[in-house]
A and B are shown apart, each in its own frame.
Chain A
Amino acid sequence: MANPKQRFGKSRTRKRRANWKAEAPTLVECPKCKAMKLPHSVCGECGFYDGREVIAVSEKE
């Protein structure tokens, strides 16, 4: 019986996989300590949010 050797060729497989890309996260500068952080979230470096909120002052352990 004659059967196809494979369904997709290397080219088609690689073209499909070539379009799966990682995206860089959007970051903003913390107004307090100038570190880059996620927008609308508490700064992981200084623990501030919205100017005043000290969330977790995690200094050296």
Chain B
Amino acid sequence: MRQGKLGRDVGARRALLRSLVTNLFLYNRIETTEAKAKAMRPVAERLITKAKKGNLHNTRLAAAYLTSPEALKKLFEEIGPKFVERPGGYTRIMKTGMRRGDAAPMAIIELVGFEPVAVKEDKKVKKAAPKKAVEKKAEPKVKSPLKKAEAPKKTMIKKAGTKVPAAKKAPVSGEK
């Protein structure tokens, strides 16, 4: 551990780094403490180097480390190929000042050349979706491109509303 122990024993530290690296690959950019960002950097870079070759053995090594299959898929299909020409230095760390509360120095770590994946707050999405479904029964496909996950629910609700002319059924199913 070139960067230190992060106040954890081996198990907790390994779990933390796996989680951080997996989320970096999923979201392209994450904000964490400076110490954690610096500690995860070599781990992430070595995995990317493995992904550049992309053989079965490397895939299995990465699969054993990452905590999500989506991250593994993205690493080998999207991130690895993009860095083929780059001889290391795939990540960038930028300091962002002190965290309110404990004054921990914070930093953003990101994959160079990748746009951060937009993260929407769950509460807002869940609140907004049922309302739209209830209000706009007549226009089925206007709002659907916004979110893939929410789209099937909406269409189901709308279909139920159109099949059965009784308008009260739609809001009831939406609330559930």
Q: Say if A and B assemble together.
A: yes
B77-121 to A contact mask, C-beta < 8 Å, 1/0:
000000000000000001111000000000010000000000000
The answer to whether A42 has its CB under 8 Å from any CB of chain B is yes
A55 to B31 alpha-carbon distance, docked (Å) = 10
CB distance from B55 to the nearest CB of A (A): 35
Nearest-CB residue, chain B, relative to A47: B96
Contact yes or no, A55 B95, CB < 8 A = no
Residues of A in contact (CB 8 Å), total 10
A6 to B150 alpha-carbon distance, docked (Å) = 73
Contact yes or no, B94 A53, CB < 8 A = yes
A50 to B94 alpha-carbon distance, docked (Å) = 10
A61 to B94 alpha-carbon distance, docked (Å) = 24
Interface residues of B (CB under 8 A from A): 94-97, 108
Other A-B pairs, 12, CB within 8 Å; known A38-B95, A42-B96, A55-B108: A40-B95, A41-B95, A41-B96, A41-B97, A42-B95, A42-B108, A44-B96, A49-B94, A50-B94, A53-B94, A55-B94, A56-B96
